[in-house]
Amino acid sequence: MDRMRDGLRDDHKLLDVITNYFPPEEAQKSPIVPFAVTAVLGLLFLNFFNNIYSAGANLSNMSFSGCLFTLNYLAIMAVIVAFWFKINLINTLWILVAMTPFTLYTMNIGLTASNCHIG
């Protein structure tokens, strides 16, 4: 005996034919914007470095911890630039989380009063 009403809504009933649907792949985006932003950041960094040397800054007084501090921030910028080109968001965030203890350590030793002398 066929039941007229089985208690299921129409959108919960099994389909007669099961089909697979795969959405179309996204078209490749143009890398012009990441390249342009990276080039601007690189030019600004070179301009900053040029201004430091032209003002007569004595970077020979920079300690090893100050160099680690600077290199760490360059590494963070490199991770962000790599995100624009290749790395997905989740991996980028995990990399930044992994870099956090080292970043905090280098900030602590690189920005101490003994390292910040003007002369």
- Which 3-state string (H, E, C) describes 55-91? CCCCHHHCCHHHHHHHHHHHHHHHHHHHHHHCCCHHH
Residues 67 and 100 in one domain: yes
Q: How far apart are CA 79 and CA 58, in angstroms?
A: 29
Residue 80 lies in a domain: yes
pTM equals: 0.56
Question: Mind listing the pLDDT tens digit for each residue in 53-84?
Answer: 787 776 777 778 878 888 898 899 889 888 88
Nearest C-alpha neighbor of 110 from the set 77, 78, 74, 64 = 64
Residues 54 and 66 in one domain: no
Residue-number span of the structural domain to which 110 is assigned = 62-114
Confidence of residue 1 (pLDDT cuts 50, 70, 90): very low
Residues 69 and 45 in one domain: no
Residue 19 lies in a domain: no
* Predicted pLDDT at 119: 54
Residues 76 and 54 in one domain: no
Question: Mind listing the pLDDT tens digit for each residue in 85-105?
Answer: 888 899 999 999 999 999 999
Residue 102 lies in a domain: yes
CB 83 within 8 A of CB 89: yes
| Phi, then psi, of 99 in degrees rounded to 5 | -80, -15
Residues 50 and 93 in one domain: no
